[in-house]
Structure 1
């Protein structure tokens, strides 16, 4: 599933199934470069979420949360790792927390995991550092979220570029990306 922006109203977003996108790409004569794979327009599915924008820059996750007036415990950062076997994994943890690599490896069923080098992030996911979203990556990787994500009504995470955040419920996020909950923080 991918979130895309409406071409007619930039404040409206749609959630699109991957099957529809694959069909559309195979049968489309004019291929367009997507500026933000987290947002586009086609065949909507109803989902409730809010998009926030802020002045991008070298802001930390806690600074983004305070700029949006959100609790840092409800704002999550997206981290991409590589396992000892070479598999890639996505982890969502609160912006003020630190990923425990041993707990992350255990959740992923790996002996160990390491953070993906920053230079490999864009070619692998299509996102840059500071704008990585669990939604709309070039390839869907196993995604894990810290168990605290279930503690509140909503969750905020990157909207696919620096300066953009999405707020939605865990149920909506799980309908778009299969997310496994686990204890992931130090």
Structure 2
């Protein structure tokens, strides 16, 4: 299993694992997961790494939305946010792009979950590899990661 799944098991939280056949040509990993698992896009969240004033942070937003970097910077108490370069994101988390999970990362980074997750009993996110999603209650994700729920997308 992946470090993400092992972290959820160790924490003894309720979760579900859902796998699908990943298509390497898929233009969006998150949208591919939603479609392959026949899920509404509001329930599937992508895990993004950004740098706020140079410090790495994790942001999770629904797959059909874009992260608002100004909202993320404000939530973290910073001035400027930018997306983390792919190679650095992979090095920091220990996961490949499209498989970055908020759970079981090499180093625990500050995590911000979009407030739309509060509307869902359970959200889906990468379980640490392409083609594998883990589902759990947003409150459990926040408890496991020490994360905060904030508005991260513009309506």
TM-score past 0.5 threshold: yes
In structure 2, what is the Cα distance between the partners aligned to 1:107 and 1:170?
18
> Which is greater in Rg?
1
What 5-or-longer segments of structure 2 have no aligned partner?
Answer: none
In structure 2, what is the Cα distance between the partners aligned to 1:181 and 1:132?
19
Q: Deviations over 1:55-95 (max 9, x none)?
A: 123332222102101110010000001122x2111000000
Per the alignment, residue 115 of structure 2 pairs with: 147
Per the alignment, residue 54 of structure 1 pairs with: 20
Question: 1:141 offset after TM fit, Å?
Answer: 0.6
Is 1:40–2:6 an aligned residue pair? yes
1:108 to 76, 80, 84: 76
The answer to which structure has the higher helix fraction is 2
2:38 to 50, 69, 86: 69
Is 1:161–2:129 an aligned residue pair? yes
Point out which structure has higher relative CO (alpha carbons under 8 A, 6+ apart). Answer: 2
What 5-or-longer segments of structure 1 have no aligned partner?
Answer: 6-35
Query: Is the Cα contact below 8 Å between 1:57 and 1:162 reproduced in 2?
Result: no
Please, what TM-score do these two structures have when normalized by structure 1?
A: 0.76
The alignment of Structure 1 onto Structure 2 pairs a total of residues equal to: 150
